[in-house]
Structure 1
Amino acid sequence: MAVLTSQPSVAPADRLSLPRPFWMLWLGTVINRTGAVVQPFLSVYLVQVQNFTLSQAGAVMTVFGVGSLLSHVFAGWLADRFGRRLTLTGGMLAASAAMVVLGAASGFPAVTATAFLLGLTIESYRPTSQAIVADLVSPTLRPRAYGLLFWGVNLGYSVAMVAGGWFADHGAHAMFGVNAAVAVAFAAVVWRAVPESRPAGTSLTGARLGAVLRDRLMLGVCAVTAGYGALYAQAFTTLPLAVAEQGVNRTHFGLAMALNGVLIVAVQPLTGKWVARQDPNRVLAAGTAVVAAGFALTAFVHDARGLALTVAVWTSGEIVIAGTVPTIVAALAPQALQGTYAGVSGMSWSAGAILAPVIGTALLPLGPDVLWTGIGLVGAASALGALLVGGPVRRRVAAANVA
């Protein structure tokens, strides 16, 4: 299995620079995420505007989640089969149309069906963007490039959370139009400024999902990713419920969680060059262990300051991990399957995130000691898995580069 070694379109003397198409992709991503106001507040909209019951809102969100889970693999397959540029542009235009229809829909059946379509398209940019970076950026610079994309997503998301809250209170239907508009803007930026990057002649041999499922090493990486997803997603599922019982009120919880975004925006760009010089498998293992330790320390939290400290710990691990998984996946994937590998990787993270509330709520009644020790062990297992797959990943990459 060959490793993609296509070089970025920059002058040889400027090897530390990222190519212009990457920066245009980054810009489009920031624009898109800045206006991504629907997803964080969709459940609120369903209850307060559509007047759905909690069970109906939960069902719609579940269907939306299933669509999002499938979107990773579907978009990755399309990117390998029909090209990155067409897939990303088409996916964003389809997401925009789904946004508009969902904002106009009423009634449980129509809203549910449209929410599935939105879920199926809204995450399509992720595996496609990963494949574009793998095509354009040299292997040594990929951790930095993927880390910058992660930073851009969080930069935009911090704005979207504020804007979405305002729309949820003052114009819930308008937020669908805003989100649809930024998706169209993202599509326009990509179509205008990001050329097709898929290596010539790969479309006929690409898009084979079965090849990924037969790659045991890739499946091992996916298991590690799923474990990390189950660990990290506790921040948005079990954590707010648990710390309320441990004495932290909602206002203080929100302030502590805001620290996560502040640290990512302020610190993550400073780590890119250092992370790029390290082995991504070891960085993934170390970072996951730090995230696990941060959540395990939550057992001792009884006030906002203690919570802020644990958030700072697991955020530091999250920051260094940012570009590692896509870097590893890009190294394992052959040229013809960069999108498909990225899609399977994204789906594995989403699967872990879906498991997060199942694990967390099962442990929650047993008390904070058992809960956070259990969550910490999930993270420790994921970190150990990252170490175990690291050696085989390095050997495959070395063999492919020699060949």
Structure 2
Amino acid sequence: MIKKYLNNFKDFPKEIWILTLITFINRAGTMVIPFLSKYMKENLQFSYSQIGWVMVFFGIGSIIGTWLSGKLSDKIGFYKVMVFSLFASGIVFILLHYATTFEELCVGILVLTTIADMFRPAMLVCLKTFTTKENRARAYSLTRAAVNLGFLFGPVLGGLIIMQLGYEYIFYVDGLTCIVAIIVFMFFVRDKKIPVKFKKLDIVPQKVSVIKDRPFMLHLVICLITGILFFQIFTTLPLYHKERFNMSEFDSGLLLSLNGLLILLFELPIVNYVTRNKINNHRVIFIGLLFMATSFLLLLFPWEGVLIPMMLFMTCGVMLTFPFANSFAMERSYELQEGKYMAAFTMSYSFAHILSAKTGMEIIQRSGYESNWIFMATLGIVGTLLVFKLFAMVEKEDLKNSERLISIESNDKK
């Protein structure tokens, strides 16, 4: 059984393992994020509305950063973008400790996320460059396993540091781990130019507008909904733990770490099983969104014991949506335009961060936590309906492409 599990990690190039390692270092170090809402509420005495606005700037910076990353990755290459992003964000993380007013924190978070979120689209291009189509989904899941292994340790360590030393120290830890991660990357991985290739010359134009790619745009809407649901565990859920059940940062961190542990253990085998059996990605995403919607319905029960099954359902939803959403985005990106597609894909989650935080905080302030959980569950159901629509669009597109190929082959024979 152990041998079968370990087989899921075979046949990856060295560069993917290094990328996985630095992702783990970076994610384990980014321990301030799960506690940012509590830090602003308890230490800085911000209102729910102010916390929501800071998270809006968090999302705006993410949008700017991912857009810049897409442009720069196609022009100067993913390598330079990744190096700049991690090193500079490490410096900004340390400086962010000195931002204590509402205005200063808005500006600081904007600058931080603009720089830090330049990393992800470039990292996705890096991942695509060093993998084949057959092991791409598995490679993405491997890096996500690293993210979640880091997320397993990060919140617990962050909670301990906060309880023993105070919030200010986790800003220094966050900054130093970013710098260490990029030093490791530069030492072991060399820059690699993406070879010039063209796909399906008779079917797909070489220059494709992302906005005109209708299936891809609908996919981004589904990713937006998925992100809104997921980011609740970083924004409203920690506050809910404290205000309804008086949980400490360490207890809240342990509960959040359950998400990372389960994904570490089960996501890659699930992805491997789905890929090996050629199960349609959209069917898997549909089930995942149902799980995520159910997790919020469980929160309507005012009992502390429901927090564990809630996290189980949320984690199952994440494992069945995120890897396959990324795989679909990669498959639709064309050569020499990967940066644009990956930036657009990542920006959908940046918009989700804005909407998730602000919407959740406003609903809680006006109507309470229960109204927010009902809204999020309803949004998840809407997402499942959109998955059905996307599946039909892709099926129709594939049929048209097959007919055109047959027509081209017939003309060539003549």
1-side partners of 2:24 and 2:155: how far apart? 14
In 2, Cα distance between equivalents of 1:39 and 1:143: 27
Match of 1:227 in 2: 225
SS in structure 2 opposite 1:212?
A: coil
Per-residue CA deviation, residues 291-337 of structure 1 (Å, 9 max, x unaligned), is 222322333x2323333223212221212223111111101111112
Could you list the per-position Cα deviations for residues 98-125 of structure 1 after superposition, in whole angstroms to 9, with x for gaps in the alignment? 2233345676665543332211111222
How far apart in 1 are the matches of 2:307 and 2:41? 30
In structure 2, do the counterparts of structure 1 residues 223 and 112 end up closer, same or farther at CA, with 3 Å as the change threshold? closer
1:68-87 to 2 correspondences below 5 Å: 68-87=62-81
Matched, 1:124 2:118: yes
Which secondary structure state, in structure 2, belongs to the residue aligned with residue 140 of structure 1? coil
User: Which of 16, 25, 33 is the equivalent residue of 1:39?
Assistant: 33
Distance 1:363 1:100, change over 3 A: closer
Query: Cα RMSD (Å) of the superposition?
Result: 3.6
Among candidates 109, 128, 138, match of residue 115 of structure 1: 109
Tell me by how many angstroms 1:366 deviates: 5.9
Other-structure match for 1:295: 296
Q: Which residue of 2 aligns with 1:4?
A: none
- Give the match for residue 202 of structure 2: none
Answer yes or no: is the 8 Å Cα contact 2:86–2:182 preserved in 1. Answer: yes
The residue identity in structure 2 corresponding to 1:375 is M
Alignment partners' CA distance in 2, 1:374 and 1:57: 20
Is contact 2:35-2:238 (8 Å) kept? no
Further displaced range: 105-114 or 275-284: 105-114
Q: Which residue of the partner structure matches residue 324 of structure 1?
A: 324
Deviates more, 1:19-28 or 1:92-101: 92-101
Please give the residue correspondences for 1:326-365 in structure 2 after superposition, counting only pairs within 5 Å.
Answer: 326-360=326-360
Aligned counterpart in structure 1 of residue 211 of structure 2, from 193, 210, 213: 213
Match of 1:88 among 82, 85, 90: 82
Question: How many residues are paired up?
Answer: 382
On the 8 A contact 1:223/1:348 being kept in 2, the answer is yes
Q: 1:363 to 1:182 in 2, by over 3 A?
A: closer
Deviates more, 1:154-163 or 1:350-359: 350-359
CA-CA distance at 1:149 after TM superposition:
1.4
CA distance in 2, matches of 1:37, 1:143: 27
Q: Structure 1 residues 235, 209: closer, same or farther in 2, change over 3 A?
A: farther
Tell me if the contact between 1:44 and 1:168 (Cα under 8 Å) persists in the aligned partners. no
Residue pair 1:248, 1:302 contacting (<8 A) in 2 also: no
**What SS does the corresponding residue of 2:194 show, helix, strand or coil?**
coil
Contact 2:241-2:247 within 8 A present in 1 as well: no
Structure 1 residues 384 and 194: CA distance shift in structure 2, 3 A: farther
Residues 12-53 of structure 1: CA distance to partner in whole angstroms, max 9, x if unpaired? xx996122111110111111111113333445556777x575
Counterpart pick for 1:157 among 151, 169, 183: 151
Are positions 1:142 and 2:141 aligned together? Answer: no
Q: CA deviation at 1:142?
A: 1.9
Work out whether 1:102 is the aligned partner of 2:96.
yes
> Per-residue displacement from partner, 1:102-154 (whole Å, max 9, x unpaired)?
34567666554333221111122211111122222222322211112112111
Q: Does 1:250 align with 2:251?
A: no
Q: Which moved more, 1:316-325 or 1:350-359?
A: 350-359
- Which residue matches 2:305? 305
Letter in 2 for 1:72: T
Moved more, 83-92 or 128-137: 128-137
1:18 to 12, 15, 20: 12
Rounded to whole Å, the distance in 2 between the matches of 1:255 and 1:173 is 21
| Identity within the alignment, % | 25
Is the 8 Å Cα contact of residues 196 and 335 (structure 2) preserved in structure 1?
no
Are 1:191 and 2:205 counterparts?
A: no
1:176-217: per-residue Cα shift (whole Å, max 9, x none)?
Answer: 332222212222232232333442358xxxxx9992223222
3-state SS in 2 of match to 1:213: coil
How much has 1:64 moved relative to structure 2?
3.4
Deviation per CA, 1:241-274: give whole Å up to 9, x if none: 66788x7553676665443233223322332311
Taking structure 1 as the reference length, the TM-score comes to: 0.81
2:170 maps to: 175
Secondary structure of residue in 2 paired with 1:226: helix
Q: Is the 8 A contact 1:85 1:194 kept in 2?
A: no
Q: CA 1:63–1:324 in structure 2 vs 1: closer, same or farther (change >3 Å)?
A: same
Residues 258, 91 of structure 1: alpha-carbon distance in 2 compared, 3 angstrom cutoff: closer
| Residue 339 (structure 1) shift | 2.0
Give the counterpart letter for 1:180 in structure 2.
G
Structure 1 range deviating more: 311-320 or 221-230: 311-320
Q: Gaps (5+ residues) in structure 1?
A: 1-13, 203-207
Q: Is the 1:102–1:111 contact (alpha carbons within 8 Å) kept by the matching residues of 2?
A: yes
Amino acid at match of 1:269: L
Unaligned 5+ runs, structure 2: 1-7, 198-205, 409-414
CA distance in 2, matches of 1:43, 1:317: 24
Given that residues 56 and 353 in structure 2 are in contact (C-alpha distance below 8 angstroms), is that contact kept between their aligned partners in structure 1? no
